[in-house]
A and B are shown apart, each in its own frame.
Chain A
Amino acid sequence: MFRKVFVLWSILIGFTIFISIQSYTQDAPEVSAKGKEVYEHSCAHCHGIEGRGDGSAAENLLPKPRDFTRGLYKIRSTESGELPTDQDLFDIITDGMPGSSMPGWESQLKADERWEVVSYIKTFYDGFKERETPPREISLEGKIAYSAESAQIGKTLYTDLGCIECHGNVGRGDGTSAPTLTDAWNDRTWPANLAENWNFRGGTDTEDIFKRFIGGIAGSPMPAFEGDSFLHFGLSSEESKRLSEMENKDEMTPEEEEESGKLYEKMDEAVLVALDRAEGTELTPEAQKIYDDAMKVVAEKSWHLANYVKSLSPEKRPETAIGNNSLRSQYTVEELPIIEDEAWNTLEDSYYPLVGQVVIEPRQFNPTIDSVRVKSFYNDTEVAFLFTWHDRTHNIEVEENEDTGTSYEDGIAIQFPVKPPKGPTDEKPYFLWGGKKPVYVWQWKASEQDKITELTVKGVNNVTVQENQGDLNVKGEYKDGEYRLWVKRALTTDDKKDLQLEPGVFVPIAFSAWDGANGDKDIKRVMSSWYSFVLEPVPSSRRFIYPPIVALLSVGFLIGLRGFVQRRNSASDEAETEQ
């Protein structure tokens, strides 16, 4: 009896344990303790303990840390609407997301730890365990190598597909829709500046650009251009070209109506196949062929477009203009070039990265201006500077907007000490708007583009507009997401509060810039610390005089030396023979 009871009990307990384990594992498959530990140590302060992207640091970040509970992942190698592959997640953790606050973790976490984190963050969204088939990956077949022609075709597509709506005419993220974009969490978001690829979140290779374009960027306004989303899906390149011609006419002739009608029918057929595929219907061989043919055209065009986008940026972020890279104003005997002058193209840009001002309240944690670039010429009496910087929006006044907040006026300030330091140990004014030692500032505002106000500043609350204005010639302009500001001034002025310039002397320079649409105003701004520039002296003409003299002297010396030695030798020989 006792034995029977025991057996029965054992079975019951075993069954119970089995059931409970079963139900738990169904709920959270393979929750790895290690992944949870690493996540909570390294990720949770931004992404939140529950993966909602609401860690304590999230408040001041934009782009916001990813909320893992909605299954929306920006950087994927998979088709639109699909979840990312594990490899995608692993790569993002490893490499980080440039232009955001997500760093690469390769140096901090071992590969197996990163994999553990991948499986852990997948538990935040049920879609991962519910998916029955592996995600469809974007095919990278048929890659077209970069060529100027390919980029040119891409450029046409860039306009036809509507990329300019957000990314702007030449890709600086200044499209007319840019100021109002929000993401799936209703957070403000900006279209990528395609001319600054070092801020691309998912990499700068042509393949990366291709994948973002085809698969879209989930949760963001960037649509997916795959399959039937592509313009004229189902037509060959030639047919598509012909149809574009007809579509761009105000009115079609009856013949054209008929011709285009046929093309539309062909497109409709292909679109229905694409929908069947998207819905998971098995395609007949004929349908599959229609789809494959259409996708070949899509891929071809997309590679052209990716090549075009790739061509808009330099290979990498330019070197900062510091040390031997510092800005050197170029001497010219001629009249200094005006803003439109081609002569500016002969100079290289000096690149100054700008970052948010986070020292004094109100702080700017999410800057939108990446950098300012400077070129300069000078002659015997004057110096001219050309400052350029990217800003997605042209704000010339205060504007209230319920969704995006108040926007202010754009501007830039160029800051110098009043007197150049005498040597490296001579104290400079405080980099942020001066202090006990004053700074001399050129302040430019977008609403008055041909004017600069000269300021003397001794700290945030001590800004004086100089009495003597008008020493500067100024021209400013905004076009396609870029400000250009041209300033010309005499090397020396009568005003004691101005900086006086002298060739060969390094002068500290710092920048502040305001993107009004990003809430920049007064001390809330982007800025740089001190750099320095020099009016590069004309290479001394002595370099043609002294070296020949040195040559003659040294030859003379050697001949003389030989003579001397010879004489001494013969003298000592004589002495020896005498002895």
Chain B
Amino acid sequence: MKIKLLTSLAVLLVFSLGLIVFADDHGKSDEMNKLVFPKSYSAKAVSGGGKISGVVKFEGDLPEKKKLEINKDEAVCGAEDKYDESVVVGEGKELKNTIVYLMDISTGKDFDKKAKLEMDQKGCKFTPHVQIVPVGARLTMLNSDKVNHNVHIFSSINKEVNKPQPKVRKKMPLAAVKKAEGPVEVKCDIHGWMKAWIAYVPHPYFAVTNEKGEFTLEDVPAGTYKLGYWHEACGSNIKEPVTVTVAAGGEVKQDFTLKLKK
């Protein structure tokens, strides 16, 4: 009798849990082109952490280098030729502007509070093209041009931002966001060709590759992690992250080769 009772109990529990899981899962959209964040993250001092570094390279035929059509404010915006920045590579096809990050770290160092968080609008171009912004921190938009811009951030988890930044407003700090999200596109609607990306992140283990395609993640507590990347034109590896094991004080090399996403 007791066994019968227990079995029924188990069946019912499984059934109800199943319902909950089903209810939770249902309605989730495709997040393939986004970053993956840990459920929670707590910061503490890290000593004797390891280092992950590497180079990201582009593979395949490079898309045609597209010159941007400057159709207004030519004096300021058209002073030098501008090209589409969705794929920027070095001589050896080293890929710039790739985010490399740890997907599943739950404890580690705190953000560098002193680091300047700025994105400039200079010569009608956003610099940098990809900006990491910690959750809870204020990004300051600069306008180094003598023309009007507007900062349009197409967030969907956080609030959409669309603020004018006239030529006289050299610095415009933006309100901090509450939730990790991204990368989201940033546009200036006044100059339609101006595009950039912002990732709002919950922990500091994010790096953006430089001109040489290099990235470095420092002070990583010893352990095994999933290493992810994201690139505007090449997509991400959410489904097949690379697993790396970092020893205390050790250094792990991990290179990536990326192709244009289909």
Contacts and interface: CB of A to CB of B under 8 A. Distances in A.
Our verdict on whether A and B bind, yes or no, reads yes
Interface of A: 1, 5, 8-9, 12-13, 15-16, 19-20, 23-24, 26-27, 69-72, 80-82, 160-162, 165-166, 176-177, 179-182, 184, 216, 218-219, 221-225, 228-229, 231, 244, 247, 271-272, 275, 278-279, 401-403
A9 B8 contact: yes
Nearest to A176: B72
Contact of B164 (A69, A218, A223, A244): A223
Contacts of A224: 162-163
A247 B189 contact: no
Contacts of A81: 159-161
B106 interface: no
Cβ-closest 6 pairs across A and B: A81-B159, A180-B192, A221-B189, A162-B148, A278-B175, A176-B72
A176 B71 contact: yes
B166 interface: yes
Nearest to A260: B168
B40 interface: no
Nearest to B22: A23
Contacts of B154: 184
B34 interface: no
Contacts of B8: 9, 12
Given A223-B162, A224-B163, A279-B175, 4 more contacts: A176-B71, A177-B72, A184-B160, A401-B69
Given A162-B190, A225-B164, A229-B163, A16 B173 contact: no
15 contacts: A5-B1, A16-B15, A20-B16, A27-B23, A80-B163, A81-B161, A166-B189, A177-B72, A180-B192, A181-B189, A218-B160, A222-B162, A224-B162, A229-B163, A403-B192
A27 B26 contact: yes
Contact of B159 (A27, A82, A162, A275): A82
B12 interface: yes
A12 B12 CA distance: 8
Given A180-B192, A221-B150, A401-B69, A5 B5 contact: yes
B24 interface: yes
A23 B23 contact: yes
Given A23-B20, A247-B168, A216 B175 contact: no
B19 A24 contact: yes
Contacts of B226: none
B43 interface: no
A162 B138 CA distance: 25
B27 interface: yes
A162 B166 CA distance: 7
Nearest to B157: A127
B30 to A, nearest CB: 12
Nearest to B166: A162
Contacts of B191: 177
A27 B69 CA distance: 47
Contacts of B193: 180
Contact of B150 (A9, A223, A231, A279): A223
A24 B23 contact: yes
A160 B20 contact: no
Given A162-B164, A162-B190, A180-B71, A1 B24 contact: no
A294 to B, nearest CB: 15
* Chain B CB within 10 Å, residue with most, of A71, A223, A231, A401: A223
Contacts of A5: 1, 5
Nearest to B176: A279
Interface residues of B, number: 46
B12 to A, nearest CB: 5
B7 to A, nearest CB: 12
A1 B152 CA distance: 69
A256 to B, nearest CB: 14
Contacts of B138: 275
A161 B189 contact: no
Contacts of B13: 16
Nearest to B189: A221
Given A19-B16, A20-B20, A223 B163 contact: yes
Interface in B132-171: 138, 148, 150, 152, 154, 156, 159-164, 166, 168-169
A16 B16 contact: yes
Contacts of B62: none
A231 B16 contact: no
Contacts of B176: 275, 279
* Chain B CB within 10 Å, residue with most, of A5, A23, A231, A271: A23
B9 interface: yes
Given A71-B156, A177-B192, A160 B162 contact: no
Interface string B21-65: 001101101000000000000000000000000000000000000
A224 B160 CA distance: 10
* Chain B CB within 10 Å, residue with most, of A70, A165, A216, A278: A165
Contacts of B159: 80-82
A181 B214 CA distance: 35
Contacts of A177: 72, 189-192
Given A13-B12, A19-B16, A221 B23 contact: no
Nearest to B169: A231
* Chain B CB within 10 Å, residue with most, of A13, A19, A69, A181: A19
* Chain A CB within 10 Å, residue with most, of B8, B66, B73, B168: B168
B161 to A, nearest CB: 7
Nearest to A191: B189
B164 A161 contact: yes
Nearest to B148: A162
Nearest to B18: A20
Contacts of B19: 19-20, 23-24
A264 to B, nearest CB: 9
A161 B166 contact: yes
Contacts of A272: 173
A161 B191 CA distance: 16
B162 A27 contact: no
Contacts of A278: 175
Contacts of A26: 23
Contacts of A24: 19, 23
B24 to A, nearest CB: 7
Nearest to B174: A275
A275 B173 CA distance: 8
A438 B225 CA distance: 78
Contacts of A179: 71
B173 A271 contact: yes
A330 to B, nearest CB: 42
A166 B161 contact: no
A20 B27 CA distance: 17
A179 B8 CA distance: 67
B136 to A, nearest CB: 9
A72 B160 contact: yes
A16 B23 CA distance: 14
A401 B69 CA distance: 9
A290 to B, nearest CB: 16
Nearest to A274: B175
A399 B62 CA distance: 26
Nearest to A221: B189
Contacts of B73: 176
Contacts of A72: 160
Nearest to B161: A81
Contacts of A69: 29
B166 A160 contact: yes
A228 B154 CA distance: 19
